[in-house]
Structure 1
């Protein structure tokens, strides 16, 4: 915190995106002592990153990022004026079931305890392992957009965007407007986006603007003669960096030159903290991802912990705001600031708004379901980037009798790198499920260890406000032994 010696707060919120800002603003207005911990220097999260600075500029970047991005300014301003305490550049590396948070900030680590915790950690790009994805020049489409928002930096070399999902086309459209030389878009989705969008207009009349917006990106890209190709079995080619992208399309192998390859196959909940807490999780078949099991208020299987926004299941930025407010209302009720009746009454418009958003999310989940080929990496494809383990090595271990995901982790070192399995966990689980001819629910997920963020031992040894009786335990909260994640 700003005063790192303060040992506690009523409500701790982790993450400064739409859900976190909305939850913090409402909770503070209801009289809850609220602290929002954010890894970024300013509020906004990934969706509205650097929104305050970019909204004040008059250069081309504001036009490139568009009106939807600009809407985040009102949310950030509301949060700033709410009275909630904002702790930027703060990495939360531990959350315990009892509400204790481990935080590193400005080169120091400290502990604080909250009576309630709302995790608003948002989403992350789905890992998209293809041959050559570890080459320099290959990165996520979301990462390219982050650079654009944070620094106004865009690729100035021949670029290809590959994958599926609305963000792939949005990033391609924004890069085209920024002057990036686009050599092509390789769409890996199994359904025709353009055809599905037009067919869905009568069914999603309330979202005609969203549909036409997405279709307009495609139309603008075609107008600028950017090749849009259906493709599968992608591979990045090159020696010291990516030089080309090869793929199957129309029954034959094609190859496009590129110096930058931006991959995107949708987003999944960022659930590192809830997994480390042993919260109950479920496998979401519609979104092909793990998510924490929550009630209608975002409360998890642990008494003090709730999840708001995309961290509880992908719903988009608009839905994240409403889910953040619902979590805040429940927190205020549990903390004695409002009655249950007032909580329920205030929740009604938020729930109606979420119901309005639901059909469009269902539509997106269906047309952008990851293709089967994407979920089955080839033998020589590196799955774990940290430890350089291939899909073939993992399948060989399964053939030798390693049928538990944590056995695979122990013997292959998959998931033991700095990312703690964020970039390989879902892929490894998919390989294991496929090899055993079972489902993801049965396979489960890695048993994560604390800290969930890289933390120098020196910081741990010099915790600013921890005496010998209150140092953090780096033992995993076991919870229900039958719960696999």
Structure 2
């Protein structure tokens, strides 16, 4: 195996070099703990600060000043003494705190006294008819291209969905000279009634002024259709049209690129594979880990920080990362010299950073029509399983996502359920007249990311290696 971890044991292993992971690693290493930070991307920053070292988009105002705020934390993590490995795919974690990682074409294990999972968020599935057509992308994918390469969509472009990222991406595309023909806003107007009582708290956060400015900037240049209640992508071999319904009228517009987004949800696969207890969040409509005040999980030694602990945004992720890092220091080196704020100060900062979150969660809560598909709409993209297939499987005896694998192979492809898991849970819950909590989620186990046989063959032939892939 080529360049990998320099040792087999560390005090702290952090997975993910986004805002939370960088903060956790900097805090732990800064206190003298041997710290390894593993991240599968080419450079640090996660999705929020993606390609912050290498982006060709250097003018501060084009990506926004919040993006460049990450440069200081990247520098802090590098100066802390933490060992940082990019291009490292973590595909396994067990209760003994053994971390399986592939890097440079080979795999190996490292052990930790504490593990901090900072795996961030995934875009919520948006299963509409035609969402698998070429030319249909997620907003996150488009933003990755924009940040890493300065690329913006060409031709007729439509953005559809809701949430802060949709408006941020629209503004960034426009600033870089791209064109947007139409925005189809799927936010339910009824959401205002539920969110309104939390508005006073939201008004006193930075999100209010920034969000309002973004929406004004975009609306001044792009036509926006609100109250969209149905949506589909159409075309022969690739997307050519977008059909939508708003105000009871169905319209069709030609399109070359359709960008979809309806919020983000915690990336839970690695934590679930490690046996961490999760619960269904009825507000954010997703699975979230059960954590204590220091972000510790049900598995001793494993903590979760950032959006993987529940969606909170980048400022909250940084504070959560520092809390998890400081908790590791307090557990492993209580007499170590520490720099930075105390745990109590960090908790106050976390509460401040998370203020107003309930307003956003309720305002941008996606409707049933865009979460639970019908008919021949594809749910599991890897195995091409449709909503009808899943309902038929329930009718003949499938009781939950794990039983569904035997009927339709849903969740058994390369993504291991990341693109279909939430949809399958909610769809089966509706079909069976049960709650998502009662239906449950896929039973996950290593490898949670695709790895090659060559990578496995490169692994030291220890009992731990065998246990990781044969259970």
Give 1:195 deviation, angstroms: 11
Alignment: residue pair count = 470
Cα pair 2:295 2:303 within 8 Å, conserved: yes
- Determine the C-alpha separation between the residues in 1 that align with 2:169 and 2:157: 11
- Determine the C-alpha separation between the residues in 1 that align with 2:139 and 2:4: 38
- 1:474 equivalent to 2:468? Answer yes
Deviations for 1:31-73, whole angstroms, at most 9, x for unmatched residues? 110010011122111100111234xx6755x421011111111
Show the counterpart of 2:8: 7
Deviations for 1:304-346, whole angstroms, at most 9, x for unmatched residues? 211111101111110011111111111112213448x989981
Give 1:298 deviation, angstroms: 1.1
Q: Which moved more, 1:220-229 or 1:357-366?
A: 220-229
- Determine the C-alpha separation between the residues in 2 that align with 1:200 and 1:47: 26
- Determine the C-alpha separation between the residues in 2 that align with 1:199 and 1:214: 19
Show the counterpart of 1:28: 29
- Determine the C-alpha separation between the residues in 1 that align with 2:192 and 2:140: 22
- Determine the C-alpha separation between the residues in 2 that align with 1:311 and 1:192: 28
Does the C-alpha gap of structure 1 residues 460 and 241 become closer, same or farther in structure 2, counting only changes over 3 Å? same
Show the counterpart of 1:229: 226
Work out which of the residue numbers 237, 240, 244 in structure 1 matches 2:241.
244
TM-score, normalising length: structure 2: 0.94
- Determine the C-alpha separation between the residues in 2 that align with 1:189 and 1:202: 20
Show the counterpart of 2:61: 63
Give 1:229 deviation, angstroms: 3.2
Does the C-alpha gap of structure 1 residues 343 and 51 become closer, same or farther in structure 2, counting only changes over 3 Å? closer
Give 1:355 deviation, angstroms: 1.4
User: 1:69-84 counterparts in 2 under 5 A?
Assistant: 69-84=67-82
- 1:180 equivalent to 2:178? Answer yes
User: 1:420-459 counterparts in 2 under 5 A?
Assistant: 420-459=416-455
Show the counterpart of 2:42: 41
Does the C-alpha gap of structure 1 residues 369 and 146 become closer, same or farther in structure 2, counting only changes over 3 Å? same
Show the counterpart of 1:259: 256
Give 1:358 deviation, angstroms: 2.8
Cα pair 1:309 1:321 within 8 Å, conserved: yes
- Determine the C-alpha separation between the residues in 1 that align with 2:310 and 2:102: 27
Does the C-alpha gap of structure 1 residues 17 and 3 become closer, same or farther in structure 2, counting only changes over 3 Å? closer
Does the C-alpha gap of structure 1 residues 164 and 227 become closer, same or farther in structure 2, counting only changes over 3 Å? closer
Does the C-alpha gap of structure 1 residues 279 and 470 become closer, same or farther in structure 2, counting only changes over 3 Å? closer
TM-score, normalising length: structure 1: 0.92
User: 1:322-471 counterparts in 2 under 5 A?
Assistant: 322-338=319-335, 346-463=342-459, 466-471=460-465
Could you tell me which runs of 5 or more consecutive residues in structure 1 were left unpaired when the two chains were aligned: 478-485
- 1:88 equivalent to 2:86? Answer yes
Give 1:257 deviation, angstroms: 1.4
User: 1:250-289 counterparts in 2 under 5 A?
Assistant: 250-289=247-286
Show the counterpart of 1:16: 17
User: 1:114-193 counterparts in 2 under 5 A?
Assistant: 114-191=112-189
Show the counterpart of 1:483: none
- Determine the C-alpha separation between the residues in 2 that align with 1:376 and 1:47: 28
* Cα root mean square deviation, aligned: 2.4
